[in-house]
Structure 1
Amino acid sequence: MTRDDAPERWEDPGFALEQQGEAWVLRGELTVRSLGEAMPRLLALDDGPLALNFSALKRFDTAGAWAILQLREKLHSIGHELQLQGLSPEHEALIARVEQAVPTPPEDERRRFDIRDLLAAVGQAVVGVGRFMAEILAMLGVFLARLAWLARHPSQFRLTSLVYHADQVGWRAVPIVSLMAFLIGVVLAFQGAVQLRQFGAEIFVVDLIAISILRELGILLTAIIVAGRTASSFTAAIGSMKMREEIDAMNTLAIDPATVLFVPRILALLITLPILGMVANAMGLLGGALMSWIELGISPAMFLTRLIEDTSLDHVLVGFVKAPVFAIIIGVIGCHAGMQVGGNAESLGRQTSSAVVRAIFAVILADALFSVFFAMMEI
């Protein structure tokens, strides 16, 4: 709306705006009560530089000051200026205070790529990994120290807690571990049959299944499933206690949280993970034998004979050597993440997700190191 098209006088019960020469005079009150009517009229004045005269204004509050600032911003965006005339010191101070209180959005500064930023990010990541490894080693040291203390003071050992956690992390994981291992055996037998049939070497599918499951896949996939179930469970349980300040209460009562919370959980994993690995191996071989019978016609008796004659005991031992290491990794990472939980639910969820990811990654990394080690040792 231009100045020429605007009416010479606008009025409502609380606010009036009229043109006198080159300026528009504000009359009545420009407050929160009249803002609904005054705001559209003020914003309609957008034709060239504008002058507002406040000498006849009776009442003026922060809502009116905000309206003036909005008008000035609008004019400034189209390249015009707003002049304020007849301002009393009170009005001028009020506009200044409102202008200071209005939040300004941060400027979007797009920085150019700098090699120093990349080096700084890499350095921070390395320091973070080093700090995390130091904390994990400290947590492992605490567990071993408390375990040694309990060995000297067996009356302080909480057997009930150990049995409970063994049931939670071991017995309740048997169905999912069994199903996973059985299906892995089926898939290995089927895929191996498809490939080996081209060379007339179907009988070697037994060796493929046995070595793959006993040496690598049985314990590795079991550890991954346990890491997903147990690391999150440990983090959630200990983190919830930390949120509710139960850890602080235990310290106040001279109860060591490491002895009560960490040792039974990690020890339960140490006991049950090798057993779960044994279950996974048996179910994986069962699935492979079943699919070999269906797909290749290798009878269960022939499968068992080939398995016993051509599978070295070293493959079984290699798989079971990894189980205690995987158990300690999962348990320590889960308990450590639980102790890092802050005082809110967001921290609990973040640490729970982080514990699962870190535990699975650490298990796979440890398995890779074991594979390199055994290959170098020709085992």
Structure 2
Amino acid sequence: MTTTVTPAGASLDAASRPARLRIAGDWTLANYAVLKQRTTALSGQYDGDTVVELEQLGKLDTAGAALLVELLGAERLGQLAQSSPSLSAADRALLQTVYCSLQDYCIPVRQADVPVLMQLLSRIGRAVDKLWQDTLQVLGFIGLIIATLLQRLFQPKRWRLTSVVAHIEQTGLDAAPIVALLTFLVGAVVAFLGATVLSSFGASVFTVDLVAFSFLREFGVLLTAILMAGRTASAFTAQIGSMKANEEIDAIRTLGLSPLELLVIPRVLALLIALPLLTFLAMICGIVGGGVVCALALDISPAMFLSLLDSDIGVQHFLVGMLKAPFFAFLIAAIGCLEGLKVSGSAESVGAHTTSAVVQSIFVVIVLDAIAALFFMEMGW
């Protein structure tokens, strides 16, 4: 089936008084090129007194309506759409729609270019504000956890021992091999570096003290906490975040249960138990790794290694390292659970908050470890 297209055009009769502008033919996309040339040629040759005749207008589409706007102007076209008796209802509605669209349209105002320095300062300001807001949220969440723990301390019927034991297995027992392997290798590396540097001073024997001091006071708890921040905090965020995305948290609240008591407290208690145990394991494995290097590279026998440990290393160094473990465990668990509860409801949100939990946990652990190191140094412990 073929469609006949009537040639279109526009002519100006300047001899008549007043002048007349006659619109004829099909003002459609098929005639767009011809009509564009004609409207350009007629531009500026008529004024507001010119009578516009639409009796010979054929078909009309949006392309033709746009050309009529260009030819007549939006205001004149709006008047014709309301008053011209020769227009069909469909054409009148089309012209009226185009007119209203042009009335509502406004050219976007281009924003002024912001200097690079101002953009940098603005981003720094937003980052500092976000850090402050996150800090307030973490502190508030820690307060809620402590308040809930104190409320449930004397209510044994509400203790969720099965959940705590399951999380201890997940966070502690399953993480023991990687913690042991990593600290063993780091202990060997520290001993090797110490032997390399101290041998030039004839003090290779002090490699034993270097390994023991570093792992009992710092490396044991710090490496374990960083591993837990990457492994456990992300797991807590992903688990609780998935429940939040699936509206399971809302279901728990609907049943009259507390998500904090049901999901957060068992994870916090589990990590409070697991992290000190893993820290002790990390200390032992790090010292064993250093002892292996001392035995192979420095000819320091295991008996001599243990004798030097007994004579040079006091128990306070062990206590300093173990004292930091519960604080790190509490903060890692709190941050991981809080980020999980902040998930909005999409897979992308789960991934973003999981990443945020790992970054925040590692940052907090390193900052607190540095503060603790300065404090214990000033105290002479």
Same fold by TM-score, threshold 0.5 exceeded? yes
**Separation in structure 2 between the aligned mates of residue 105 and residue 315 of structure 1, nearest angstrom:** 67
Deviation at 1:93, TM superposition (A): 3.1
Aligned counterpart, 2:110: 107
Residues 330-365 of structure 1, C-alpha deviations (whole Å, 9 max, x = no match): 011111111111122222222111111111111111
Alignment of 1:174-323 (within 5 A): 174-323=176-325
Closer/same/farther in 2, CA of residues 186 and 100 from structure 1, 3 Å limit: farther
Aligned residues: CA RMSD = 3.4
Gapped regions of structure 1 (runs ≥ 5): 1-11, 73-81
1:234 partner amino acid: F
Kindly indicate whether the alpha-carbon contact (under 8 Å) linking 1:65 and 1:98 is maintained by their aligned counterparts in 2.
Answer: no
Contact 1:14–1:29 (Cα < 8 Å) also in 2:
no
Aligned mate of 2:134, from 132, 139, 146: 132
Confirm or deny: 8 A CA contact 2:168 2:271 kept in the other structure: yes
1:28 is aligned, of 26, 29, 32, to 26
1:336-351 to 2 correspondence within 5 Å?
Answer: 336-351=338-353
In the other structure, the counterpart of 2:5 is 14
Q: Point out where structure 2 has 5 or more consecutive residues left out of the alignment.
A: 14-20, 45-51, 82-91
Matched-pair contact (CA < 8 Å) for 1:17–1:24: no
Distance 1:57 1:20 in 2: 12
Q: How big is each residue's C-alpha offset from its partner over 1:307-352, in whole Å with a ceiling of 9 and x where there is no partner?
A: 2221121111110000000001001111111111112222222211
Contact 1:228–1:356 under 8 Å retained in 2:
yes
**Could you tell me whether the CA contact under 8 Å between 1:24 and 1:51 is conserved in 2?**
no
In structure 2, which of residues 96, 112, 126 is the aligned counterpart of residue 93 of structure 1?
Answer: 96
Residue 58 of structure 2: aligned partner: 58
Q: CA offset at residue 161 of structure 1? A: 0.2
Residues 166-220 of structure 1 show CA distances to partners (whole Å, capped at 9, x for unaligned) of 0111111112111211111121112112211211111111111111111101110
Q: Is the 8 A contact 1:247 1:257 kept in 2?
A: yes
Greater CA deviation, 47-56 or 328-337? 47-56
Greater shift, 183-192 or 268-277, is seen at 183-192
Give the letter for the 1:60 counterpart. L
Q: Matched residues in 2 for 1:122 and 1:58: separation?
A: 62
> CA 1:106/1:239 → structure 2, altered by over 3 Å: closer, same or farther?
farther
Note if contact 1:15-1:26 (Cα within 8 Å) is conserved in structure 2.
no
Q: Note closer, same or farther for the CA distance 1:50–1:183 as it changes in structure 2 (3 Å cut).
A: farther
Aligned partner letter, 2:26: G
| Gap change, CA 1:324 and 1:24, over 3 Å in 2 | farther
Cα deviations by residue, 1:95-153 (Å, 9 ceiling, x for unpaired)? 334446879777353123677x8777666555543433332222222222222232211
Q: AA paired with 1:96?
A: Y
Letter in 2 for 1:306: L
Identity of aligned residues (%): 42
The residue type paired with residue 71 of structure 2 is Q
Residue in structure 1 matched with residue 333 of structure 2 by the alignment: 331
